[in-house]
């Protein structure tokens, strides 16, 4: 598949914080769906569209993201010609004198100049879906728009941040409302836009000239009066991760057959870093039901309505309900967990009971010993 476009993923979002989960890492690097990081979905979408050049803008806490992405080989983005570019902020001799203001944008300009693809697909990191961009890019080209934006009919269902679009009959964006208390429409931006590279360079240059340092999808949408923005609806399964609550509910949505089929079995693979774990072993007295379980686990207790990441040990007489247990966590005997999110490498000592509420899951940070 050929596409004359490159990708750009914004690894952070100023308005999205996931507490303990985003404390050690960028939004894009938060583990999701058992064996992935959130960014894997967007990267796979871009790669499955035929893009061979993808930039990732990471502003803060990007060590975990860099570990995950490596050379990009897991996504076939380890290429001599472009491939994966990690774009951290940089401090240069000019901006260090401006009180150390970090310059997101001038590094970007080089990236856009060096990658001579016609279009750029720019995406936030809080959406999870499985699709290619080929048709959207073609429709953008036909429309004659400056920018095209993807949306679906979620409204403000996932809470803030949300950009509600007012769209006329022909699909032109006439209004953009951020986090409106009473949305006039259910059309909610997916945070994915398509723009011609040359046009983007002009806009970014203008921003730099104005001393603007913030590069975001929302900033582009805000300019709907001066720019022609075309809206395109996405109708398949989409999950948004705007908060701990929606992280939790989006994970639980994966237990639904239709969601799982659409995200994982539509024929487009979702790539991630390979870990070479052993197969998961089930003991004789386990009780597992309605759960997604990854490689390298040992299951000897009861697990229901839960998501287990790779290398999780569930000891005998432990009960895990409605919970998300991340990589290499050890659940000792007799532990009871309900509505809990455990980050990586936690150890839960024998007999501990942790019970959260469905709307307010208990979140335990990375490496905790409880």
Partner 1 sequence: MARTEIVALILAGGQGSRLGVLTKYLAKPAVPFGSRYRIVDFTLSNCSNSGIETVGVLTQYQPLALNTYIGNGHPWDLDRNKGGTYILPPYQKTGHSDWYKGTANAIYQNIEFIEDWDPRYVLILSGDHIYKMDYAKMLETHIRQKADATIAVLEVPWSETSRFGIMNTDKQGRITTFEEKPKQAKSNLASMGVYIFNWPVLRAELSCDEEDKDSDHDFGKDIIPKMLQVGMNLQAYRFSGYWKDVGTISSLWEANMDILDRPHDINLRDRDWRIYSRNPVKPSHFIADSAEVSNSAMTDGCNIFGTVDHSVLFNSVTIEKGAVVRDSVLMPGVTVASGAVLNKCIVSFATVIGQDVRAGADITGRCQYTNEHLLSGGITVFERGLKIRDKAVIPGNSMVTYNEPDEIIETRFRV
Question: Dihedral through CA 202, CA 214, CA 150, CA 134, nearest 10?
Answer: 50
Minimal distance in Å, beta carbon 128 to partner 1? Answer: 12
* One of 19, 283, 351, 367 touching partner 1 (CB under 8 A): 283
In the complex, the smallest distance separating the C-beta of residue 53 from partner 1, rounded to whole angstroms, is 21
Q: Give me 202's structure tokens.
A: 């002009």
Residue 342 interacts with partner 1 (CB under 8 A)? no
With CB under 8 A as the contact rule, which of the stretches 150-158, 211-219, 289-297, 348-356 interacts with partner 1?
Answer: 289-297
Q: Which residues pair with 325 in a beta bridge?
A: 308, 342
Residues 6+ apart with CB under 8 A from 107: 87, 88, 89, 90
173 Cβ partners below 8 Å, 6+ apart? 149, 165, 166, 167, 221, 224, 229, 230, 231
Find the farthest-apart pair of alpha carbons in the chain and give their distance in angstroms, rounded.
67
Interface with partner 1 (CB under 8 A), residue from 293, 320, 335, 341: 293
Q: How far is the CB of 260 from partner 1 (least distance, A)?
A: 7
Ranges of H-type helices in 70-192: 105-114, 134-143
Question: Are the C-beta atoms of 20 and 247 separated by less than 8 Å?
Answer: no
> How would you class 183 by CB atoms within 10 Å of its CB: exposed for 0-12, middle for 13-18, buried for 19 or more?
middle
Site for partner 1 (CB under 8 A): which residue of 288, 337, 348, 363? Answer: 288
- 367 binding partner 1? (CB under 8 A): no
Cis peptide before 300 (omega within 30 of 0): no
What minimum distance in Å lies between the beta carbon of 36 and partner 1? Answer: 8
Report if residue 76 touches partner 1, rule: CB under 8 A: no
Binding letters toward partner 1, positions 226-245, x by CB under 8 A? --------------------
Binding mask 54-73 for partner 1 (x = CB under 8 A): -------------------x
Q: Is 282 in the site for partner 1 (CB under 8 A)?
A: yes
Q: How far is the CB of 72 from partner 1 (least distance, A)?
A: 13
Contact flag: residue 37 with partner 1 (CB under 8 A): no
Q: Inter-axis angle of helices 105-114 and 197-209, to 10 degrees?
A: 160
Short-list 86, 88, 105, 112, CA closest to 200? 112
- The span of 102-110, 285-293, 330-338, 339-347 binding partner 1 (CB under 8 A) equals 285-293
Which of residues 245 and 280 has its CB atom nearest to partner 1 in the complex? 280
Q: How far is the CB of 64 from partner 1 (least distance, A)?
A: 19
331 near partner 1, judged by CB under 8 A: no
Using rule CB under 8 A, residue 269 touches partner 1: yes
CA–CA distance, 205 with 214 (Å, rounded to integer): 12
Residue 238 tokens read as 């989409």
Q: Does 345 bind partner 1 (CB under 8 A)?
A: no
Task: Map the footprint of partner 1 across residues 242-261, applying CB under 8 A.
Answer: 255, 260
Among 55, 72, 296, 361, binds partner 1 (CB under 8 A): 296
Backbone angles phi and psi of 308, in degrees to 5: -110, 125
Separation of alpha carbons 350 and 171, rounded Å = 58
Residue 301 touches partner 1, criterion: CB under 8 A: no
* b/e 264-277 (16+ beta carbons within 10 angstroms → b): eeeebebbbeeeee
Task: Identify the residue among 41, 224, 247, 271 touching partner 1 (CB under 8 A).
Answer: 271
Mark the segment that binds partner 1 (CB under 8 A) among 7-15, 52-60, 277-285, 352-360.
277-285
In the complex, least distance from residue 33 CB atom to partner 1, rounded to whole angstroms? 7
First to last CA, the chain: 49
Would you tell me which residues interact with partner 1 (CB under 8 A)? Answer: 33-35, 73, 255, 260, 263-264, 269-271, 274, 276-286, 288-296, 298, 303, 307-308
């Amino acid at each position: 598949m050929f596409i004359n476009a490159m990708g750009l993923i914004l690894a952070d979002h100023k308005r999205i914080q996931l507490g303990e989960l985003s404390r050690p890492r960028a939004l894009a690097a938060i583990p999701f769906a058992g064996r992935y990081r959130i960014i894997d979905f967007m990267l796979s979408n871009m790669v499955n569209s035929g893009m061979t050049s993808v930039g990732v803008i990471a502003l803060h806490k990007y060590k975990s993201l860099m570990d995950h992405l490596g050379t990009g080989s897991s996504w076939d983005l380890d290429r001599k010609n472009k491939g994966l570019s990690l774009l951290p902020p940089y401090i240069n001799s000019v901006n260090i004198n401006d009180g150390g203001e970090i310059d997101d944008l001038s590094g970007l300009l080089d990236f856009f100049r060096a990658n001579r693809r016609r279009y750029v697909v720019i995406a936030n990191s809080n959406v999870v879906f499985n699709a290619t961009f080929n048709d959207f890019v073609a429709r953008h080209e036909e429309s004659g728009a400056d920018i095209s934006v993807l949306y679906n009919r979620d409204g403000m269902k996932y809470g803030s941040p949300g950009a509600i679009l007012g769209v006329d009959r022909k699909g032109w964006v006439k209004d953009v409302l951020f986090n409106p208390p009473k949305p006039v429409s259910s059309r909610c931006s997916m945070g994915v836009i398509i723009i011609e590279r040359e046009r983007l360079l002009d806009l970014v240059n203008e921003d730099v000239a104005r001393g603007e340092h913030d590069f975001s999808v929302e900033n582009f949408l805000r300019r709907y009066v001066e720019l022609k923005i075309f809206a395109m609806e996405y109708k398949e399964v989409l999950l948004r991760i705007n908060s701990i609550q929606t992280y939790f509910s989006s994970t639980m949505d994966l237990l639904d057959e239709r969601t799982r089929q659409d995200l994982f079995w539509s024929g487009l693979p979702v790539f991630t870093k390979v870990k070479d774990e052993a197969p998961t072993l089930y003991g004789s007295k386990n009780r597992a039901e309605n759960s997604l379980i990854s490689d390298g686990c040992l299951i000897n207790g009861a697990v229901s309505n839960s998501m287990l990441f790779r290398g999780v040990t569930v000891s005998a007489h432990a009960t895990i309900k409605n919970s998300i247990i991340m990589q290499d966590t050890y659940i000792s005997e007799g532990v009871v967990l309900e509505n809990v999110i455990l980050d990586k490498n936690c150890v839960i000592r024998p007999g501990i009971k942790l019970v959260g509420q469905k709307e307010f899951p208990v979140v335990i940070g990375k490496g905790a010993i409880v």
